[in-house]
Structure 1
Amino acid sequence: MRPPTTPRERSASEPAPGSTPGPAASGEAAPDGAPAPDVRDATGPGPHARDDRAESHPPSSSEASSPAHEPVTDLSDLPPAWPGRRGRAAWPAVPLLAALALWAYAVRHTDVSRLDDFGLVTALHPGFWAGLVVLTVGFWLTVRGPRRSGGWPAAYVLGLLLMERATQAVLYPTPLYAWAWKHDGVVEHLLTAGGLQTADRIGDMAVYDQWPGFFAAQAALVRLLGVESAAMYMAWWPLVSSLMLLLPLLLIYRTFTEDHRLIWTAVWLFYVANWVGQDYFSPQSVAFALHLGVLAVVLRRHGRSGGGPGRQGQAVWTAVVGVMVVAIVISHQLTPGMLVVSLLALCLLRRHRDWAPAVTTVVIFLAWCLTAALPFLSAALPDMIRSVGDVGGNVATGYGATPTGTGAVATSWAARLLSGSVLLLAVAGVWRQRVLRRRAMPLLLVAAAPLPMLAASSYGSEMIFRVLMFMLPGAAFFAASALLPGVRTLAAGAEAGAGPRGRGTGPSEPSAGRRPASSAVRRGVRAGGPLLVLLAATSAFVPSYSGKDRINYFPPQEVALVRQLFDRAVEGSTVVAANRNYPLAHASYGTIDHYWFTEDDRRHVDEIVRDPAATLARDMAGVERPGRAYLLLTQGQRANSEMNGQLTGVQLDRIEESVAGSGLFRLVAENSAGAVYELRREGGAAR
């Protein structure tokens, strides 16, 4: 007995009564440069019209008892479990609200006071993991359901962002990540200095004054909000910056398909695979959103054949691109280079061979590099030239950046497996989806364009992570297509000219008269396999993104200790620490010097370990009056040193015990998060 044919199946396989088959339904290719139409949408004006038709004309009892023309191939072909139009429309709210309730319960019962080497992974209440599973399953059933509203997948994605990016802001009483605190220090410096400064006054930190766009905007925002500093809101920046990516992602994906299953699955995969951490309080977070915005405008408004805007319209969109490029160029060093290679890659295609966006970006980028950024580039150019072509050196981590210990290694591998799986899925999607491979070729080029940057620079041993991040929007799209069998059969029908049925031909598609016994198993695998992949990827995000929270979290006691130090230090003082992984590490950098001894030559680090007090006293003795020299040791430094292979806990204990027992130093501040020692003036001079 064959199951009944639903309205969705009829629209996927044959024209609705009174309609005319579109190009995809008849096996004809769409015009060059236009997005490939969805076979299921060929009988109506768009996806929303199709959904409305399914809502207003449910199968009658006679239809339900008549033989069907198509077999059930996945969960999307099953009839709804709830009777009635209202129930069918509202059922996605149940798993969504249940997931959010579990999340709320979990964050109220999670203790982050003692994190181990697995970070937040082992600290989270089990309710969080249950909520994540419920959310993912609800999203998949909703996006694959036969009667679905475009609003529910969006609601699930917002729920995902809340669980992914807001959990840390809710759990931790202080902002995470030393680099975020560093950027807060840059904003504070701009507010107090009243203008940009050069390297002869603030040393290496002058690089931020040569790309001040983000920091100047944040300084204005701090003044506008009337808050004390950016630290008052930067804990929520990961959620804000992730939301900024949503609109350009949707615009890019809708350029190549109207299949909302593919669009929202790609968005979901993008967010769960985006563990690199560009979303923290940083110029990169805004620059990346603008980068996607430029690509969205170029893909949708430049170089499209037929029906595109006229010259005046193109000029307007070129001006819009120019404004976004200026904001990128004055804020971040790497993103303009990534944007240039992406735009040049698009110019390889005939239908996108509009050189205006690429030329505009290159001109603005060069103008900034040859003026405001010239001091930094002049000093860094020799090292940049030496790194060109050295792919092995550019992707190497080196001393002090190698995961050490079970937790650090496990979370590092989780991140690698997550990225590798998405990239492999993307390759599978490119291979299987011939229609997408042709129609979405611009997105495929954009995804591959960042790869040559691996041979350009190491970017502080982070180039491989940045390349992955810039590849991810395109990779997530093709990876999502590999999880959706409906897209695969669409590709077969469009390419092979399968006729109005829109189905691929071949031995793998059983006929209506012969249904092998294993067909139910295959249908189950086709329906459940992608869901398991999505669950695994969504779960892997947590250790990839939050597995190093022991390093990144600074408790209130540590923040208070460092504030006490900087309140005590006068102009001209020097703060010495094992590494820069502590809050406010760059506070008052215009008037106070910093020295992190694990970043020094390895031989000198070994000398400090052998004779800590004497060696450190000698290093700190050159501070001139009225400045003082301080040694700061905190739990954040310890976590970073132990988990990144700098110094072991035993070695750090030896250093602190030597300093505490030496007459060369005196203890000036201490709490549960660390201690501050001051070099005695007479002792330092004697050494």
Structure 2
Amino acid sequence: MPDATPAHAPEGGVRRPAGGGGPRPSAHGRRWSAVRPAGPLLAAIALWAYAVRSTDVTTLDDFGLVTAVHPAFWAGLAVLTAGFWSTVRRSGRADAWPLAHVLGLLVMERATQALVYPTPLHAWAWKHDAVVDHLLTDGGLRSGAELGDMAAYDQWPGFFALQAAAVRSAGAENTLTLMSWWPLISSVLVLAPLVLVYRTFTQDRRLIWTGVWLFCAGNWVGQDYFSPQSLALVLHLAVIALVLRRFPGAGRHGPRQAVWTTVLITVMVPVVLSHQLTPVVLIASLGVLALTRRHRDRVPFLAAVALFAAWNLTASLPFLSAALPGMIASVGDIGANVETGYGTTPTGTGAVATSWAARGLSGAVLLLALLGAVRQRELRRRARPLLLLTAVPPLLIAVGDYGSEMVFRVLMFMLPGAAFFAAAALLPRTGPPSGTPPRPLPARFLRLPLPVLLATTFAFVPSYAGKDRIGYFPPAEVALVAGLVRSAPDGSLVVAPNRNHPLAYGDYWRLDHHWFLEEDRAVVDRILRQPARTLALGMRGRPGPGRSYLLFTQGQRADAEMNGHLTGAQWRRVERSVATSPFFDLVARNAAGSVYELDVAAVEEAVR
């Protein structure tokens, strides 16, 4: 007997179609379904906000933020990850919800440190602040003879000139606030070109957003800090996205293509002006794409080569002329290029555990990527350009060591493609492209991805923030070093065990800096036998009005102990020897360290 209820009338909150089909959700049900993803997202952010307010970083141990952060942080990560997968696996959801969850992940990953630490992290970020300060102070660039090892920063000034302009425009005195928030800013900037690259090869939103999530969770290398590399990576991906989407093949050089070529060159220029390594990766990547049938247009490759050559033969030629012999000698020496060397070996339970967490995270993403590329035949064919781009960075290991950081840079440049194919390993096989929406996920694919996403998301925290005892400099340490830099006369020498302290390059255009633990091991052993006397003899001879200072801070000690330079007992012996020596006078001290000035007269009297 037919249903007597009219097709347009509600019955129990459900409307039935006129043809007698199944029930359709009511307007209320549709509205609830549309906003339901907000629940886990808001709950996760609330847990995170509570964790940030309840975290104390005054006494960090060797596990860094991992043991310092409130447990609510971990609960928030779990809720956010579960909410993301619940949202992305439903084919009817709008892209806004996965994007909102990814932004939530970046906030929890990158903004936590900006909020719980009162000063910016990482000695390298402070170094780059010193370069910006130099541009603001001098108002121009200097030659290699004037700046020595720091000349490279003046000869690739793109990033620093941009930040100096931003500081002037904002009326600020320095980049310290920007330094704290730059990891979040640079990570958000990466999203747009990354999504464009992924959408070139698939319209499956599940694959796109799962790949983006794995990229954010696997990006522990730390390229996002206040550095030229962070901006160069964004622009590198932007160039790749433009070439993949707007340069599909040879023979298309009309007015519209001329416009896109102009845009492309505009994006390439700051890459070449800002960083030494990224243009090399970009040229290799564009060269590989130019060899494929789908992207045979050689204009992008030739443009990148021309810009790179023009800059290296003009502005950066003094630096390259001095560095070229060493660069040539390292080509092909793979063993030396991957060797980390003395003073970079994790020491202690926390440092070792976090290092293995990072290795495990990268290894898991790469293994998943291999699995995804093998089992997804159709996707492998369709996304072959991305597969080739992922294979380019490992070739860099044969080129040089890049200051013992080449392995990390290789992982960073591989990650966009690796994350995409890793996501493919967690999803059903992709068939030929069509206009029909993807099929619902089979039951086994509803169970598998969430544990993997949880594991990678949780592993990111120790990989990225597990060594915050090294990277964090409390306000007392900043004040101590800033006071030394301000008061030291021009031409002074600042000696420290290592460069892991704020303002390690402070006023480098008028002060000299030296780090004695970076000497050969034989020199370090000689210092350890007679610390005060050996250091004093090495620091004398400074022409006036310059003076010689010796600086000890807690950041230096954390680096020395956790990276295998010195044991805690050796550090205390050096400090005690200097503190009781007639060769050094204490000029400043607080809870974070001490500053000593060399007594030149006492040293000269002792050596007579």
- TM-score range for the pair, normalised by the shorter chain length: over 0.9
Q: Distance in 2 between matches of 1:153 and 1:609?
A: 55
| Alignment-derived partner of residue 573 in structure 1 | 492
Unaligned runs of 5+ in 1: 1-55, 66-78, 505-521
| Alignment-derived partner of residue 347 in structure 1 | 290
**Structure 1 residue 254 displacement after superposition:** 0.9
**Structure 1 residue 232 displacement after superposition:** 2.9
Q: Distance in 2 between matches of 1:361 and 1:582?
A: 37
- 1:434-583 matches, within 5 Å, as 434-485=377-428, 488=429, 490-491=430-431, 494=432, 524-583=443-502
Contact 2:64-2:465 at 8 Å conserved across structures: yes
| Alignment-derived partner of residue 516 in structure 1 | none
Change (3 A) 1:186 1:99: same
Contact 2:15-2:26 at 8 Å conserved across structures: no
Matched, 1:256 2:201: yes
Q: Secondary structure at the match of 1:224?
A: helix
Q: Distance in 1 between matches of 2:545 and 2:439?
A: 82
Q: Distance in 2 between matches of 1:313 and 1:321?
A: 13
**Structure 1 residue 146 displacement after superposition:** 4.5
| Alignment-derived partner of residue 5 in structure 1 | none
| Alignment-derived partner of residue 311 in structure 1 | 254
Q: Distance in 2 between matches of 1:184 and 1:98?
A: 37
Q: Secondary structure at the match of 2:373?
A: helix
Deviations 1:43-62 (A, max 9, x none): xxxxxxxxxxxxx9999996
Q: Secondary structure at the match of 1:588?
A: coil
- 1:175-574 matches, within 5 Å, as 175-304=120-249, 311-485=254-428, 488=429, 490-491=430-431, 494=432, 524-574=443-493
Q: Distance in 1 between matches of 2:281 and 2:64?
A: 32
| Alignment-derived partner of residue 664 in structure 1 | 583
| Alignment-derived partner of residue 147 in structure 1 | 92
Q: Distance in 2 between matches of 1:426 and 1:675?
A: 49
**Structure 1 residue 567 displacement after superposition:** 2.0
**Structure 1 residue 624 displacement after superposition:** 1.4
| Alignment-derived partner of residue 517 in structure 2 | 598
**Structure 1 residue 81 displacement after superposition:** 13
Q: Secondary structure at the match of 1:669?
A: strand
Change (3 A) 1:358 1:683: same
| Alignment-derived partner of residue 6 in structure 2 | none
| Alignment-derived partner of residue 28 in structure 1 | none
Contact 2:236-2:282 at 8 Å conserved across structures: yes
Contact 1:389-1:456 at 8 Å conserved across structures: yes
Deviations 1:191-227 (A, max 9, x none): 1112111122121111111101111111111111000
Change (3 A) 1:266 1:681: same
Q: Could you tell me the percent identity over the aligned residues?
A: 63
Contact 2:204-2:438 at 8 Å conserved across structures: no
Contact 1:88-1:147 at 8 Å conserved across structures: no
Contact 2:496-2:552 at 8 Å conserved across structures: yes
Q: Distance in 2 between matches of 1:322 and 1:291?
A: 12
**Structure 1 residue 303 displacement after superposition:** 2.1
Q: Distance in 1 between matches of 2:41 and 2:252?
A: 41
Q: Distance in 2 between matches of 1:57 and 1:648?
A: 74
Contact 1:272-1:538 at 8 Å conserved across structures: yes
Q: Distance in 1 between matches of 2:27 and 2:75?
A: 24
| Alignment-derived partner of residue 24 in structure 1 | none
CA RMSD of aligned residues (A): 2.3
TM-score (structure 2 length as normaliser): 0.94
Change (3 A) 1:145 1:555: same
Q: Secondary structure at the match of 1:481?
A: helix
| Alignment-derived partner of residue 561 in structure 2 | 642
**Structure 1 residue 598 displacement after superposition:** 0.6
| Alignment-derived partner of residue 592 in structure 2 | 673
Contact 2:16-2:22 at 8 Å conserved across structures: no
Change (3 A) 1:640 1:155: same
User: What letter is aligned with 1:299?
Assistant: L
- Which of 36, 56, 69 is matched with 1:111 structurally? 56
- 1:67-82 matches, within 5 Å, as none
Deviations 1:300-341 (A, max 9, x none): 000259xx9652222211111111111111110000000011
Contact 1:276-1:545 at 8 Å conserved across structures: yes
Q: Secondary structure at the match of 2:130?
A: helix
Q: Secondary structure at the match of 2:302?
A: helix
**Structure 1 residue 174 displacement after superposition:** 0.1
| Alignment-derived partner of residue 11 in structure 2 | none
| Alignment-derived partner of residue 85 in structure 1 | 30
**Structure 1 residue 147 displacement after superposition:** 3.0
Q: Secondary structure at the match of 1:220?
A: helix
- Which of 96, 104, 110 is matched with 2:41 structurally? 96
Q: Distance in 2 between matches of 1:327 and 1:315?
A: 20
Q: Distance in 1 between matches of 2:262 and 2:15?
A: 47
Q: Distance in 2 between matches of 1:430 and 1:60?
A: 46
Contact 2:135-2:164 at 8 Å conserved across structures: yes
User: What letter is aligned with 1:452?
Assistant: L
Contact 2:64-2:466 at 8 Å conserved across structures: yes
Q: Distance in 2 between matches of 1:630 and 1:60?
A: 88
- Which of 530, 538, 547 is matched with 1:628 structurally? 547
| Alignment-derived partner of residue 611 in structure 1 | 530
Deviations 1:227-253 (A, max 9, x none): 010113210000111111111011111
| Alignment-derived partner of residue 587 in structure 1 | 506
Q: Distance in 2 between matches of 1:103 and 1:250?
A: 26
Contact 1:301-1:309 at 8 Å conserved across structures: no
Deviations 1:59-88 (A, max 9, x none): 9996559xxxxxxxxxxxxx9999711111
User: What letter is aligned with 2:307?
Assistant: I
Deviations 1:652-675 (A, max 9, x none): 100010011111111110011010
Equivalenced residue count is 592
**Structure 1 residue 683 displacement after superposition:** 1.4
Change (3 A) 1:224 1:649: same
Q: Secondary structure at the match of 1:668?
A: strand
Q: Distance in 1 between matches of 2:19 and 2:316?
A: 72
Contact 1:119-1:548 at 8 Å conserved across structures: yes
Q: Distance in 2 between matches of 1:124 and 1:230?
A: 26
TM-score (structure 1 length as normaliser): 0.83
User: What letter is aligned with 1:244?
Assistant: L
| Alignment-derived partner of residue 76 in structure 1 | none
Change (3 A) 1:153 1:389: same
Q: Secondary structure at the match of 1:676?
A: strand
Q: Distance in 2 between matches of 1:447 and 1:224?
A: 39
Q: Distance in 1 between matches of 2:78 and 2:321?
A: 52
Change (3 A) 1:660 1:102: same
Change (3 A) 1:352 1:82: same
Contact 2:249-2:296 at 8 Å conserved across structures: no
Contact 1:80-1:88 at 8 Å conserved across structures: no
Change (3 A) 1:110 1:62: farther
Contact 1:119-1:550 at 8 Å conserved across structures: yes
User: What letter is aligned with 2:303?
Assistant: T
